[in-house]
């Protein structure tokens, strides 16, 4: 009461609302009027922000929290009445006729797409000090994840435009969801690199706000341990992307510009774009409202499983079941062994890699109803079995892949499975935890993420007829990995399989110790025998044919230990660095036709 003069009329309403909602404890230790008034104003600014950034405001947040906390206390099964079964979807094999058809269709469609990267996560499991999108995807070219994503989108934009008649003006919109943990560093990375070649207006950053923490089953908001004039907050999860897109107004802008698809992807999957053209092709061909990308999944691997859930009342949906829930759900529904590998060596439930393609029209229709609100969950850590108090404050969370949960049964929800070697190698685990991953399961570390890029590129070249040597096994930071020839290329060199086929001949071969970096667009490998390192660049107007035998000492992987802090974090977490002993490096900066023949 005594501090009301500090507040705007809206804030007075909010203060009343908080009292009605049982939050009077927030004001219990406030100083007398005239003391710490600035802090009190800051408190109300924070409350105003928390209220406006949540669909339905704090009232709705507290109400949902009470319901979910009561369910959690009662031990209510979130899958009550549902039986899981293995769904059917589109299963693609890289390079075969269908795959090529889907890829070509996807490249045509991509000019009607907008890309959305969720990059608000701090990456606690990875424990990296910087933002994850600034990490190198691989260390031959040293391209960061963010640069790689942007180069890919730009190359897709150009390839897609070149298929349309007349001049194509379209610039593919690119949204990045950030959070307080990542926003300024993401913006700085973009600005200091001139948006990596995108037009600044093409890129939009949407910052997610954290949500209020909860102290008890009554959903009393937690006071920040560092300040009695702040509410403690924590991240709400990647599901925020939907409400942010909705409230930004971008979806209608995109619809008016004739766009048809919105693609969502995560921060550190260096292989993801290998899968995107074909997956858009599948969405277009099958007219999917929702298409989730998936890979074969090892039982208990820390990625969600795509599952069909059928309710006793007949309802049925295809949805991601998070990795910690799938095993108990199976055990509770007549599968005593839970989540286990079958005769294929994989779990029958495809692994969700959280790459979603949504059709824009139905997406807008749905968000108009839900305002982007996504089914939330709460995961309190209780002090004891009475479940009356928490070890530490909790909060509501939501996941972007839960979007289909509110869709009507008529919605066309599908998924597309691709090989993991092609599409999925995220960097999520720190070296210590990665080394503890059970043998045969993927490490999801900086080491495995980089090695996966070389493996995928080597396998793609093999598929196109190049003789690529077998890998050798080696151990870095306690993780046993396959080391393939270090083959890399820029997206503009080859976006889809038919590009690779056009640019290499079957007379080429690459030895295991080799490193190959192709940076220019019109570089053709004719009858190359590579046993060493070749780094080649060329402007778009230079056409270069590479012929003959290139042999040199090459680049060697030198082991480093992740604990050795004299080495930059980005390098030591991989367990190796490139020792560049000898290479042939060529750069064609004049237009014309050239032959590179040593
Ligand atoms: N992220 C945000 O942008 N904001 C947030 O508040 C939180 C995260 P994690 P997670 O593909 O391997 C997901 O932490 O959530 C961004 C799927 O739920 O890397 O443990 C963050 O920056 C799971 O089903 O992953 O697991 C990052 O880009 C499975 O598919 C992204 O969200 C798994 O990913 C994911 O955050 C996987």
**pLDDT (mean) for 324-329:** 89
pLDDT bin (cut points 50, 70, 90) of residue 55 is confident
Indicate if the pLDDT at residue 88 is higher than 80: yes
Q: Cα separation of 48 and 209, whole Å?
A: 12
Sign of the four-CA dihedral 438, 439, 440, 446: positive
- Cβ–ligand 1 contact at 121 (below 6 Å): yes
Q: Cα separation of 68 and 71, whole Å?
A: 5
Please say whether the beta carbons of 567 and 484 come within 8 A.
no
Neighbours of 132 (CB within 10 A): 22
Q: What pLDDT, on a 0 to 100 scale, did the predictor assign at position 489?
A: 98
Indicate if the pLDDT at residue 288 is higher than 70: yes
Indicate if the pLDDT at residue 4 is higher than 80: no
- Cβ–ligand 1 contact at 210 (below 6 Å): no
CA of 170 to the centre of ligand 1 (A): 30
- Cβ–ligand 1 contact at 231 (below 6 Å): no
3-state SS, residue 410: coil
Please say whether the beta carbons of 301 and 351 come within 8 A.
yes
Predicted confidence (pLDDT) per residue in 422-442, tens digit: 999 999 999 999 999 988 889
**pLDDT (mean) for 254-282:** 97
Beta-strand ranges (E) seen in 179-326 are: 203-207, 211-212, 214-216, 233-234, 261-265, 290-297, 305-311, 316-321
- Nearest Cα neighbor of 281 from 260, 308, 255 is 260
Predicted confidence (pLDDT) per residue in 194-215, tens digit: 999 999 999 999 999 999 999 9
Token output for 572: 């030591």
Token output for 205: 């950053």
- Nearest Cα neighbor of 293 from 122, 463, 102 is 102
Indicate if the pLDDT at residue 276 is higher than 90: yes
Q: Cα separation of 4 and 568, whole Å?
A: 52
**pLDDT (mean) for 324-337:** 90
CA-to-CA separations, 401 to 178, 290, 404, in angstroms, rounded: 18, 10, 7
Cβ contacts of residue 371 below 8 Å, gap of 6+?
Answer: 55, 56, 243, 246, 247
Predicted confidence (pLDDT) per residue in 366-388, tens digit: 999 998 989 999 999 999 999 99
Q: Cα separation of 452 and 430, whole Å?
A: 16
> Which protein residue has the closest C-alpha to ligand 1 atom 10?
303
Neighbours of 375 (CB within 10 A): 17
Q: What pLDDT, on a 0 to 100 scale, did the predictor assign at position 224?
A: 96
Q: Cα separation of 229 and 218, whole Å?
A: 21
pLDDT bin (cut points 50, 70, 90) of residue 167 is low
Paired strand residues for 390: 382
Indicate if the pLDDT at residue 166 is higher than 70: no
Mutate to test the pocket of ligand 1, among 179, 238, 405 (most ligand atoms within 8 A of CB): 238
**pLDDT (mean) for 477-493:** 98
% of the chain with per-residue pLDDT over 90: 85
pTM over 0.90? The answer is yes
Mutate to test the pocket of ligand 1, among 54, 116, 117, 118 (most ligand atoms within 8 A of CB): 118
Q: What is the mean pLDDT of the chain?
A: 94
Q: What pLDDT, on a 0 to 100 scale, did the predictor assign at position 191?
A: 98
CA-to-CA separations, 166 to 365, 562, 591, in angstroms, rounded: 32, 53, 25
Q: Cα separation of 15 and 11, whole Å?
A: 6
């Amino acid at each position: 009461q005594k501090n009301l003069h500090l507040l705007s009329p809206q804030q007075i309403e909010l203060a009343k609302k908080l009292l009605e909602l049982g939050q009077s404890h927030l004001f219990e230790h406030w100083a007398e009027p005239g003391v710490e008034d600035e802090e009190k104003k800051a408190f109300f600014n924070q409350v105003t922000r928390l209220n406006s950034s949540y669909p339905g405001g704090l009232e709705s947040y507290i109400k949902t929290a009470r319901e979910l906390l009561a369910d959690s206390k009662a031990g209510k099964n979130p899958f009550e009445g549902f039986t899981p079964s293995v769904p059917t979807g589109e299963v693609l094999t890289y390079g075969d006729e269908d795959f090529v058809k889907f890829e070509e269709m996807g490249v045509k469609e991509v000019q009607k797409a907008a890309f959305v990267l969720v990059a608000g996560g701090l990456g606690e499991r990875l424990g990296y000090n910087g933002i994850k999108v600034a990490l190198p995807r691989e260390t031959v070219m040293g391209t960061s994840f963010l640069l790689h994503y942007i180069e890919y989108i730009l190359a897709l934009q150009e390839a897609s435009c070149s298929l349309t008649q007349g001049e194509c003006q379209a610039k593919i919109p690119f949204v990045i969801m950030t959070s307080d943990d990542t926003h300024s560093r993401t913006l700085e990375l973009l600005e200091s690199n001139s948006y990596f070649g995108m037009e600044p207006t093409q890129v939009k950053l949407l910052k997610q706000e954290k949500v209020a923490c909860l102290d008890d089953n009554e959903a009393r908001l937690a006071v920040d341990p560092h300040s009695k004039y702040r509410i403690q907050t924590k991240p709400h999860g990647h599901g925020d992307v939907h409400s942010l897109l909705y409230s930004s107004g971008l979806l209608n802008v995109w619809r008016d510009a004739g766009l048809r698809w919105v693609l969502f992807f995560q921060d550190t999957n260096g292989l993801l774009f290998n899968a995107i053209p074909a997956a858009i092709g599948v969405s277009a061909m099958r007219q999917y409202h929702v298409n989730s990308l998936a890979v074969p999944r090892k039982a208990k691997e820390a990625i969600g499983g795509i599952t069909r859930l059928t309710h006793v009342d007949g309802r049925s949906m295809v949805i991601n079941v998070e990795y910690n829930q799938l095993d108990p759900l199976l055990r509770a529904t007549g599968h005593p062994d839970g989540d286990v590998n079958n005769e294929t060596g994989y779990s029958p439930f495809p692994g969700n890699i959280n790459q979603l393609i949504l059709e824009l029209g139905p997406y807008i229709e749905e968000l108009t109803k839900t305002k982007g609100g996504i089914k939330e969950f709460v995961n309190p850590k209780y002090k004891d079995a009475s479940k009356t108090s928490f070890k530490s404050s909790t909060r509501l969370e939501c996941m972007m892949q839960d979007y289909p949960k509110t869709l009507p049964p008529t919605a066309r929800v599908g998924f597309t499975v691709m090989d993991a070697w092609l599409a999925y190698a995220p960097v999520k685990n720190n070296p210590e935890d990665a080394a503890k991953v059970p043998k045969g399961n993927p490490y999801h570390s900086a080491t495995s993420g980089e090695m996966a890029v070389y493996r995928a590129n080597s396998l793609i070249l093999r598929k196109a007829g190049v003789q690529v040597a077998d890998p050798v096994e080696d151990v870095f930071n306690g993780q046993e990995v396959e080391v393939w020839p270090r083959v890399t290329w820029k997206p503009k060199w080859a976006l889809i399989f038919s590009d690779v086929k056009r640019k290499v001949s079957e007379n080429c071969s690459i030895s295991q110790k080799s490193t190959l970096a192709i940076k220019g667009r019109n570089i053709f490998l004719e009858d190359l025998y590579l046993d060493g390192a070749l780094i080649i660049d060329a402007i778009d107007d230079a056409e270069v044919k590479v012929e003959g035998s290139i042999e040199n000492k090459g680049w060697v992987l030198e082991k480093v230990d992740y604990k050795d802090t004299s080495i930059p974090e980005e390098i030591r977490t991989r367990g190796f660095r490139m020792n560049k002993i000898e290479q042939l490096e060529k750069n064609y900066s004049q237009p014309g036709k050239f032959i590179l023949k040593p």
